[in-house]
Amino acid sequence: MTLTRTRWVPIGLLVVVGIAAGMQFAKVAAVFLPVAAAFDAPDTVAALFVSAPAIVGMVLGLTASVLAARIGFRRVIVACLAIGAVLSLVQSFLPPLPIFLGARVLEGVAHLGLVISCPVLIILLSAPRHVSLAMSLWGAFFGLAFAFAGWLAPIVEQAGGVGAVFLGHAILLAVLLGAVLLVLPHVPGEQPNRDAHAEGFFRAHVDAYRSPRQFLPGAVFIFHTLMYVPLVTFVPLFADASIAGVLLVWMPLVSIIGTIVAGFVGQYTTTPPVVLIVGYAGVAVLVIATWALLAGEIPILLVPLALMFFSGLIQGAAFGLIPSLSTDPTVTSRANGVLTQLGNLGSTVGPPLFASLIAGTGAAGFVPIMWLVVALCVGGGITSVIALRLTGARPLRSSVPDRAH
């Protein structure tokens, strides 16, 4: 059944749930040094505090989507909020290091269930004319999580220590659990689908990676995730010290603006693959412009911010691509699973790849970084052109007339 009216209140709640899920990473990154000091951990071990949940997504992303369809998306959200709240509470006591790391890995299960299930329900709660816009709002959840955590977590840590940051996150998840139970409606398509497991997990992987409608959003997204965190992290290192701090704060915030704009553009003017092509082309041109300004010792403040705006377009359009290819709940769930799996792979591989280029080339490090970003943009652009052939250059509101497969 197709909705004729978009349910914005529950959609907004699901976006907030997504922000809380993103904080499962951001809460550690925002107070990284105090957390490392609390456990007296070396840098290599402390880095696992941040990345441990991503391991689950990288390995089990698609598997989780099959399970979510079988269990029921609303049930998965309720269960994962409860699990996440308990694990954050455990972390707030700063237990021995093996227990803390184990809790972080298990937190990846809760994170994965939320980021798989929430976007499926957002699609089901949206009228066709609003699907792209709603998904672009969802696409901003990770950047918003880091923005809010970067603002609030240091304040909480200063007032109550590292444990208070994890306790605050546990309380947030518990509050959202109550809100979901009270506000999130049951909608056709979110109920358990017992047939979703019949083909087996291995077969589901084979089918998903052979199906363009399930595979392409993730294939587009991985080129973005390979370079997003490295750009936010490393571009400020090449800037003048007077503006480096400004770039660190504003680059991710500007990318959020681009993510939201992608929804409006994809909703009312053209289809998401066109936005993806524009985004990748913009990033490629602006990373070259950044290099040219650095070579001439000219301040680069505005150019990296513009670069991140186009990067945000890519992120918003990648999420919008899922319902433009299919709005069948099983298909969108698996597309989200593939996107999560490949996105986590890109986020895990990207930072060390870029860091190795910087370490290996010294002061001239931005030149190979520039070429790597351009190469990733070419790959993302080609993949976006393939997606364009499946969708056609039409706005999503007229390209998704129903919830057919």
Q: Which residue has the higher pLDDT, 137 or 278?
A: 278
Helix H, strand E, coil C: the string for the chain is CCCCCCCHHHHHHHHHHHHHHHHHHHHHHCCHHHHHHHHCCCHHHHHHHHHHHHHHHHHHHHHHHHHHHHHCHHHHHHHHHHHHHHHHHHHHCCCCHHHHHHHHHHHHHHHHHHHHHHHHHHHHCCCHHHHHHHHHHHHCHHHHHHHHHHHHHHHHHHHHCHHHHHHHHHHHHHHHHHHHHHHCCCCCCCCCCHHHHCCCHHHHHHHHHHCHHHHHHHHHHHHHHHHHHHHHHHHHHHCCHHHHHHHHHHHHHHHHHHHHHHHHHHHHCCCHHHHHHHHHHHHHHHHHHHHHHHHCCCCCCHHHHHHHHHHHHHHHHHHHHHHHHCCCHHHHHHHHHHHHHHHHHHHHHHHHHHHHHHHHHHHHCHHHHHHHHHHHHHHHHHHHHHHHHHHCCCCHHHHCCCCCC
* pLDDT tens column, 180-197: 999 998 877 666 665 555
Name the residue among 258, 257, 260, 298 with its Cα closest to residue 282. 258
Superfamily of domain 8-399: MFS general substrate transporter like domains (1.20.1250.20)
pTM of the model: 0.77
pLDDT of residue 400: 45
pLDDT of residue 31: 84
pLDDT > 90: percent of the chain: 37
pLDDT of residue 385: 93
pLDDT of residue 110: 94
State the average pLDDT for the chain.
84
* pLDDT tens column, 305-336: 999 999 999 998 998 888 888 878 778 878 88
| Domain boundaries defined on the chain | 8-399
Q: Is the predicted pLDDT of residue 176 greater than 50, yes or no?
A: yes
Q: Is the predicted pLDDT of residue 85 greater than 90, yes or no?
A: yes
pLDDT of residue 392: 64
pLDDT of residue 402: 39
Q: Is the predicted pLDDT of residue 222 greater than 70, yes or no?
A: yes
pLDDT of residue 347: 78
pLDDT of residue 221: 94
Lowest mean pLDDT among 167-171, 179-183, 234-238, 285-289: 234-238
pLDDT of residue 301: 86
Q: Is the predicted pLDDT of residue 10 greater than 70, yes or no?
A: yes
pLDDT of residue 375: 97
Q: Where residue 354 falls among pLDDT bands split at 50, 70, 90?
A: confident
Q: Which residue has the higher pLDDT, 338 or 59?
A: 338
Average pLDDT over residues 215-232: 90
Lowest mean pLDDT among 6-15, 78-87, 129-138, 212-221: 129-138
